[in-house]
Amino acid sequence: MKNRRNILLTIIILLNNVAFAQSDNYWSWNFNTPSSLLSGAVVGGNAGPSSIYYNPALIDHGNVPALTVSANILSLQFLNVNNVAGNGIDANQFIFKVQPRFISYTLPVKNNRLGIEVAILSPISEEVRFSLQHDNQLDIIERTQGLETYTGFLEYSRSYDDTWVGGGASYQVSDNLFLGLSSFVSIKLLKYKYSQSTKAFQENDSVLVGNLYEPKYIAESSFEEKFKYWYLSFIFKVGAQFISDSKQVSVGINITLPDLPIYGEADIRKSVSRSNIYDNSSQSMVSNETTVQSIEDSKVRVKNPFSIAIGGQYKTEDKKNFILLTAEYFHRIKSYAVVQSTLPPPNWLPNYFENKLSGNDFMSYNFEANSVTNVAVGFKHQISSSLIFLGGFRTDFTISNTDNPRFVTEKFAVNRIHFNKYHLTGGVVLKIKKFGVIGGAQYTRGKTENMPEMINYTTPREYIPETDQSLEGYRQNNTVAILNELSLFFGLTVDFD
C-alpha cells in the first residue's frame, strides 16, 4: 500500500507543476485561451479549446487534430492586509509566478457529427503567504516593576491547487442542437500553516516584585497548526447548445455534477502552549500548559458543488462582432468534515478554543460554502482575417462568511482571507497559417472589510480570564484586505491538418 501511494504521489507531482493555492472563489480560474480573454462568458459559444470545461457540447467538430498550449508569462500579485495583528500592524505580500495552465488536444475522427478532446487544466491556482514581527516596550506584566520587552510573531501561508485530467465528446444531433459530456480526475493539493507566538520579559537578570527581587522569567504563549492533504475525485460535466436558423444567436447550458470521491490522505499537526502567565484578578500564576497532537495519513473528503451555467451569444450579420453573456449558479455545500479526527480530546485547551469545540474536534477541519451566482460578459471583434480582439468582465464572489473565518459552525476551518473579486480581461488572437497566437492581460481587484484580526498585538493584556487568552488583546473586526493582481499570458494553438 505504501509503495502504491508513493507511485501515485509521484504521478501527481509530475502532472501538477503549477503553484499550490487555496481559493474560496469559484471563478478565479484563467486558462489563458481565447475564452479567458472573453472572461469565460462562453457557455453559449466561442469557448474554443476550453469547451471541455465551459460546455462540452462546443467541442470542435472540424475533424482537424489541434494542440493548444497556454502558459502565463507572468503573474504579479499584490496583497495588503491592514490591521491583521492589531491597529496599524499590517501585512504585505508580493508574489511573482510563471506557470503552465492549459494543455489540450482535439482528436481527428471520421464521423463529422462527433468531436473528441483530451486536456490537462488547472481551474484553481492561487497562493497567499505573509509574516510579520512586532516589538514594543510596555508594562504588560503588572506584578513586576518596570517595562517589559514585548514581541509577537505571526506567520501565515495557504496554498491550494486543483488540476483536472480528462476528456470529453460532443455530438451534433441536428443542424441546431449539440450535446456534450466531459469527465475528469481532479487532483487537489493543499498546504496550510498558521503560527502565532508572543513573549514578554525584562532585560535584567532579576525582576522586582513589590520590594523583593525574583529571578528573571519569560512569559510566553503560542499556537501553531499545519495541515496538508492530497485528494482524488471524479468530476462530470453535461452540456448542450442550441443554434438559431439564422446562426446569429446561440444558447448553451452546462451542468457540473458533484464530485465522486476516489481517495485522499492528510497530515495534521497542532500545538498550543503558555508558560509563566500571571492572573491579576486572582493574584496567582496560571498553570503552565502545553498541548501537541498530530495525525498522519488521515482520510480526506473534499466536496465540489453542483452548478448550472447558462449562456448566450449574439453575432452581427457581418460576423465581425460578438456579444456573449454567461451566468452560473453554484449550490450551497452544508458544513461537513474534510478531516474527522479520531484522537481523544486534549487534556488542556484555552477557553477560546474549548468553548467552540467538542469532543475530538481540535484535530478536525470542516468546510462549508454558501450558494453564489456569478455573471460574465464578453465582446469579440474581428479586426481582420488574421487579427481578433477579445475582452470581457466577470464577477467572482466569495462562497464563505467573513465574520469568523477561524470556525465553521463552531468547528475548526482553514483560516482564510475572503474576497469578492472582479476580473477585467482583454487581448488579441493572431492567426498565422496553422498557428493561432493568443496574448492578453487580466486585472483582478478584490477587497474585504471588517474582518476579525488574526491576533491583537497593539493592546495586549497578560491574561484575560473570561477567554483564557494570554499576551494578546481583544480581537477587533477592523481588518481590511486589498488584492491587486495583473496577469500577462501567452497561448498557442497548432492545427495539424
Three-state SS string over the chain comes to CHHHHHHHHHHHHHHCCCCCCCCCECCCCCCCCHHHHCCCCCCCCCCHHHHHHHCHHHCCCCCCCEEEEEEEEEEEEEEEEECECECCCCEEEEEEEEEEEEEEEEECCCCCCEEEEEEEEEEEEEEEEEEEEEEEEECCCCCCCCCEEEEEEEEEEEEEEEEEEEEEEEEECCCCEEEEEEEEEEEEEEEEEEEEEEEEECCCCEEEECCEEEECCCEEEEEEEEEEEEEEEEEEEEEEEEECCCCCEEEEEEEECCCEEEEEEEEEEEEEEEECCEECCCCEECCCEEEEEEEEEEECCCCCCCEEEEEEEEECCCCCEEEEEEEEEECCEEEEEEECCCCCCCCCCCHHHHCCCCCCHHHCEEEEECCEEEEEEEEEEECCCCEEEEEEEEEECECCCCCCCCEECCEECCCCCCCEEEEEEEEEEEEECCEEEEEEEEEEEEEEEEECCCCCCCCCEEEECCCCEEEECCCCCCEEEEEEEEEEEEEEEEECC
Q: What tens digit of pLDDT does each residue of 352-373 get?
A: 776 777 666 889 998 888 999 9
CB neighbourhood size of 383 (10 A): 12
Q: Using the structure block, give the residue that is written with the C-alpha cell 468530476.
A: 235
The domain 2-495: what is its CATH number?
A: 2.40.160.60
* Pairing mode, strands 148-172 and 212-215: unpaired
Please answer whether residues 244 and 224 qualify as being in contact, where contact means their C-beta atoms are separated by less than 8 angstroms.
Answer: no
**Amino acid 359: pLDDT:** 65
Provide the β-strand partners of residue 155: 131, 195
CB neighbourhood size of 322 (10 A): 23
Distance CA 232, CA 196 (A): 32
**Amino acid 11: pLDDT:** 30
User: Which three cell numbers mark 132?
Assistant: 510579520
- With a CB cutoff of 8 Å and minimum separation 6, the contacts of 270 are 223, 224, 225, 226, 291, 292, 293, 294, 362, 363
**Amino acid 396: pLDDT:** 94
**Amino acid 104: pLDDT:** 87
User: Which three cell numbers mark 380?
Assistant: 469579440
**Amino acid 1: pLDDT:** 39
**Amino acid 75: pLDDT:** 83
**Amino acid 295: pLDDT:** 94
Residues of the chain predicted below pLDDT 50: 1-22
Please answer whether residues 203 and 274 qualify as being in contact, where contact means their C-beta atoms are separated by less than 8 angstroms.
Answer: no
Provide the β-strand partners of residue 426: 391, 441
**Amino acid 126: pLDDT:** 78
Distance set, CA 440 to CA 88, 222, 390, 431 (Å): 37, 46, 9, 15
